[in-house]
Amino acid sequence: RKEVEQDPGPFNVPEGATVAFNCTYSNSASQSFFWYRQDCRKEPKLLMSVYSSGNEDGRFTAQLNRASQYISLLIRDSKLSDSATYLCVVNDGRGGFKTIFGAGTRLFVKA
C-alpha cells in the first residue's frame, strides 16, 4: 500500500460545479496534512493546511478524518482558474518528519 494515495484523475467538470478529492494515508501516526496545488510546469503552492476541526477558505474546504485516515478537499463553484493538479501531502512523523506527496489529481474545469 502506498503511503499516500489519491483519487486517480483526471476530473473534468463544468464551471460552477462542486468537486471533491479524497486522499488516504497509511501511517496512523502522521502529524500534519496539507493540500498543494501545482500548475503545469510550475512549482507546487500551498493551498491549505488540514486540521482535525476542518478548514475552510472561501470556496475551498478541507477535512481530516483521523479514524479512517483520509483527507478531503472540496471545491465549490469551480472556476476555470482552478484547473491544476492537486497534491495531498502528509508529514509522516517518522524518521525526522518526512513529508510525503500523493501522486496528485488533475482537475480540468471547462467553460
Residues that bind other proteins (CB under 8 A): 31-32, 34, 42-46, 49, 87, 89, 91, 95-104
CA distance 26 to 30: 8
Choice between 17 and 103, CB closer to other proteins: 103
Choice between 70 and 76, CB closer to other proteins: 70
Contact 75, 60 (CB under 8 A): yes
Q: Compute the least distance from the CB of residue 35 to other proteins, in Å.
A: 11
Choice between 15 and 66, CB closer to other proteins: 66
Contact 61, 67 (CB under 8 A): no
Q: Compute the least distance from the CB of residue 4 to other proteins, in Å.
A: 9
Q: Compute the least distance from the CB of residue 103 to other proteins, in Å.
A: 5
Choice between 17 and 100, CB closer to other proteins: 100
CA distance 82 to 80: 5
Q: Compute the least distance from the CB of residue 50 to other proteins, in Å.
A: 11
CA distance 34 to 90: 6
Positive or negative torsion for Cα 106, 91, 24, 3: positive
